[in-house]
Structure 1
Amino acid sequence: MCIIALAYKTPALGPLVLLANRDEYYRRPAAPLDYWQDAPQTLGGRDLQAGGSWLAIDTRGRLAAVTHIRDGRPQSPPARSRGELVQRFVTGDEDALSYAQWLREHRHEFGPFNLLFGSYNDLLHFSSRSGQLNRLNPGIHVLSNAEMDTPWFKSERLRGHLQTLRRPPAEAEVLPWLCDRTAAEVAELPNTGVGLALEKLLSPVFIVGRDYGTRASSLLTVTARGDVGFAEVSWDMSGRETGRRRYQFTVGIPRRSI
């Protein structure tokens, strides 16, 4: 994931409404939203190169999503894929605080990352840069390639949309927000050390580059009864839709294996 916006425990929208775009190199293979063969209670997209995920939830209500942290500094290739962080938590049994301790001990084995994780009604955020763990407060939050709630141009565009909602949204309502290709003006760009041209390319909610861009857009909602709705749209390198997936389940009701 490269941008996540969520309404968390808000009176109008319930326990969770999460919007996200996954940005990745087009050459990196991925499977779309589905239940996993090796973890049948887990629902999410899957990185076919390293086996991890960018956003996943299971029938127990365990949830995780990851973004990388962009700082422009040269780095040696990490030993482990960030997608493992999502896969390990959602399919595992560790409580969130125990997992946070594991993150502190192993964070340098991964590229810089933000991890949103926990249960849908008790979410935490861990930053590998600072090593800090914070429990999310109710409200609207945005997370891109900096710290939680850093007011980047694209993050604030999604925050503004979420603030207008008075009921949980339908997929058709939020998809235009996630497909927003509006770029920031120069004065609104962050300085993450990658150069002005790249900052501009990466500034929209929806990215279309030569070899890198938005690969999937997701809407995840959870109601007070624990009813989960998870929808994903996949995109090709030209920004054209290549498929849609939608799933529903209720937390606490295991999925029957087929």
Structure 2
Amino acid sequence: MCTIVFAIGQSRHFPLVVAANRDEFFHRPTAAMDWWQADTGQNILAGRDLESGGTWLAVSQEGMVAAVTNVREGSAEAGRCSRGELPLKALSQPCQNLKEMLGSEAGRYSGFNLISLSTSGGWYYSNRDAHPGRQIFKGIYGLSNHLLQTPWPKLLRLRNNIGRHIDQAGTDSSELHNQLAPLLQDTTPAPDNQLPDTGVGIETERFLSSLFIAGDHYGTRATTIVTVSEQGEIRVTEQSWGPNARKQEQRQFCWQR
């Protein structure tokens, strides 16, 4: 499970802002965010899933961002391929080519949402969307484990809060990262009457309804913020978390494209 809010063209100083939480089982082997060469030959900045390969969020040297979330389904069948390869494909090939590949084999992957973002726009594809493959234009968007802009309470709250900070942002990217990070640590659960019914049962719906999930075996494992400035500065901050919200390593990267 993951939550992502991203803003395109909402600040004259930062035309692209991405803020995300990655939720996963703590026993799943993972390498922290770093530079590595994908099978596509492209150098990317990303964490690595050491169990199935690939990643959940990747940043290119040019400042493009691609990320994937799963679609929460109570009785989903496993796909033949790992969804973690999708962000790598999104950064290495044209959207139309990827759309054709994804449309040709519906059962290749379990349910997913894929976004590919730049400072000028983006692209969204879900194999659970009735009309998959949409261009994304200027705006602020929320994505979790259903379709883009599904109004889950945690998404609405985060999108509104991040929007206010972006509106007021100055030119200091480090300051903006410091302002956004606490917003991603919100543990407020949704009221029962606002919970979705995704087939996992009421107790699990409650547990997953907060933006930041603090659990023994499953929870938020990484908080990631990416900004691309109008001058071409790319800044990435990732905070890793252990069980029960135990703070672990923080990594920061900053370069000029």
Fold agreement, TM-score > 0.5: yes
One-letter code aligned to 1:206: F
Name the structure 2 match of 1:46: 48
The alignment status of 1:126 with 2:125, answered yes or no, reads yes
- The structural deviation recorded for 1:225 is 2.4
CA distance in 1, matches of 2:149, 2:218: 24
Structure 1 residues 205 and 13, CA, compared in 2 at 3 Å: closer, same or farther? farther
Q: Please report the TM-score for the alignment, with normalisation by the length of structure 1.
A: 0.90
Structure 1 residues 12 and 187, CA, compared in 2 at 3 Å: closer, same or farther? farther
Greater shift in the superposed pair: 111-120 or 175-184: 111-120
CA distance in 1, matches of 2:103, 2:148: 17
CA distance in 1, matches of 2:43, 2:76: 36
One-letter code aligned to 2:155: S
Name the structure 2 match of 1:21: 21
CA contact (8 A) 2:8 2:121 kept: no
Name the structure 2 match of 1:5: 5
How high is the sequence identity, in percent, across the aligned residues?
36
- The structural deviation recorded for 1:163 is 2.1
Q: Secondary structure of 2:24's partner?
A: strand
Name the structure 1 match of 2:100: 101
The alignment status of 1:234 with 2:240, answered yes or no, reads yes
- Counterparts of 1:186-201 in structure 2 under 5 Å? 186-201=192-207
- The structural deviation recorded for 1:57 is 1.1
One-letter code aligned to 1:246: Q
CA distance in 2, matches of 1:70, 1:114: 11
Greater shift in the superposed pair: 207-216 or 34-43: 34-43
Structure 1 residues 120 and 43, CA, compared in 2 at 3 Å: closer, same or farther? farther
The alignment status of 1:67 with 2:69, answered yes or no, reads yes
- The structural deviation recorded for 1:82 is 0.8
Name the structure 1 match of 2:183: 177
The alignment status of 1:79 with 2:80, answered yes or no, reads yes
CA contact (8 A) 1:96 1:118 kept: no
- The structural deviation recorded for 1:175 is 1.5
CA distance in 1, matches of 2:13, 2:213: 27
CA distance in 1, matches of 2:253, 2:176: 13
Greater shift in the superposed pair: 39-48 or 220-229: 39-48
CA distance in 1, matches of 2:5, 2:13: 13
Structure 1 residues 194 and 243, CA, compared in 2 at 3 Å: closer, same or farther? same
- The structural deviation recorded for 1:11 is 3.7
Name structure 2 gaps, 5 residues minimum.
none
CA distance in 2, matches of 1:4, 1:113: 13
How many residue pairs align between the two structures? 248
- The structural deviation recorded for 1:195 is 1.0
Name the structure 2 match of 1:218: 224
CA distance in 1, matches of 2:48, 2:106: 21
CA contact (8 A) 2:9 2:119 kept: no
Structure 1 residues 193 and 34, CA, compared in 2 at 3 Å: closer, same or farther? same
Name structure 1 gaps, 5 residues minimum.
252-258
Q: Secondary structure of 2:245's partner?
A: coil
Deviation sequence 1:93-128 (CA, Å, 0-9, x none): x21221222222234211100000154433100011
Name the structure 2 match of 1:30: 30
CA distance in 2, matches of 1:99, 1:119: 17
- The structural deviation recorded for 1:227 is 1.5
- The structural deviation recorded for 1:78 is 1.9
- The structural deviation recorded for 1:27 is 1.0
CA distance in 1, matches of 2:176, 2:63: 21
Name the structure 2 match of 1:256: none
Task: Let me know the Cα RMSD of the aligned residues.
Answer: 1.8
CA distance in 2, matches of 1:211, 1:129: 28
CA distance in 1, matches of 2:82, 2:35: 20
Q: Secondary structure of 1:10's partner?
A: coil
Name the structure 2 match of 1:157: 157
Q: Secondary structure of 1:198's partner?
A: helix
CA contact (8 A) 1:70 1:146 kept: yes
